Amino acid sequence: MPSRAGPVLGLLLAVPAAAQEPPPTAARGPLAEIVVTPPPTEAERRKELREFSREVIRPPRMRQPIAKFAFPVCVTVFGLAPEDTEVIAERIRANAEALGVGADRSPTCLPTVRVAFMAPAAGPPERWLSTASPQLAHLATYQRERVLAEAGPVRAWNKVVVRNFEGGPMAHADPGAVMYGGRPVLLLIEPFSSTDPIVTTEITGAAVLIAREAAEGFTLGQLADYATIRALLGTGSVEAGAPVRTILTLFDDAAPPAGLTDYDKALVRELYDASRNVGPRRVYHDIARAVVAAERSGERGH
């Protein structure tokens, strides 16, 4: 049988030598400088979270403790279809129970948490409220300013009562006065220390107003979880880029959490687990400690 090696060999020899060589490697410039940043230590992470929590929680006045509800919350939601409002209300109740606040499920309870989805006819949020709005009449001037200065599609506030060591309401005009017989009397007993004041601050009501158009595209669970945090403690809105995942970025983050995060749960649970007259610094510390512990546990789980 005649060999086929000859024609094949001739074909290979006919290909120019240059075509058989790989193209020259393009000249490379200097390698880009790579900076490796180690993860923060636990101490650094706790400090970061303490500072962030101090920004998230609206600060109390006059060395007062952070305000919180003293009794289970009664929730009402309106502005959406009845079945949707009930889903949101029930989720807020479930959150309150899971986080140590408690929920009053009696059909005749007096609402202490009100969540309203504002129709487009109400106009933009800037037109919902003013310094003369009766809804804000119970707030101190600085509290009204906080509410009115908030940007975005939400307005939220808490009605807070400052109580003395006997549980009686203190006069608004003077944080060092109590009411006896309808007139303010100076409180002569001083707090033991700046971190353990005798006075307590109680949230007796909360309102969360959300633009209905801005709520479109979110799940009922996301909206309920967001309203939970805004109602159960005094907070402002949080912009995207926060150092920790939180449902408070719901209206600012392109990819917000699907529900309450470890940080959100710690934010509420640690406040409500703390003594009623504990100082804010202790609460910030406990929140940071709980979040770092959850983060470390998650890393070990992987």
Up-side HSE of residue 83: CA atoms within 13 Å toward CB? 0
Q: What is the pLDDT of residue 184?
A: 46
Q: What is the pLDDT of residue 163?
A: 78
- pTM recorded for the entire structure: 0.78
The verdict on residue 160 lying in a domain is yes
The verdict on residue 26 lying in a domain is no
The verdict on residue 271 lying in a domain is yes
**What H or E segment, with its residue span, contains residue 118?**
strand 113-118
* CA gap 116, 215 in Å, rounded: 11
The verdict on residue 1 lying in a domain is no
Q: What is the pLDDT of residue 123?
A: 96
Q: What is the pLDDT of residue 261?
A: 97
**CA nearest to 95, candidates 214, 212, 223:** 223
> Which token pair is 203?
């949230």
Q: What is the DSSP letter of 192?
A: S
Q: What is the pLDDT of residue 107?
A: 93
Label residues 15-34 b or e (16+ Cβ within 10 Å = b): eeeeeeeeeeeeeeeeeeee
**What's the total number of domains in the chain?**
1
93 is in which domain, residue-wise? 63-301
The verdict on residue 30 lying in a domain is no
Q: What is the pLDDT of residue 276?
A: 87
Task: Give me the residues of the chain with pLDDT under 70, please.
Answer: 1-32, 35, 37, 62, 164-198, 299-302
Q: What is the pLDDT of residue 40?
A: 81
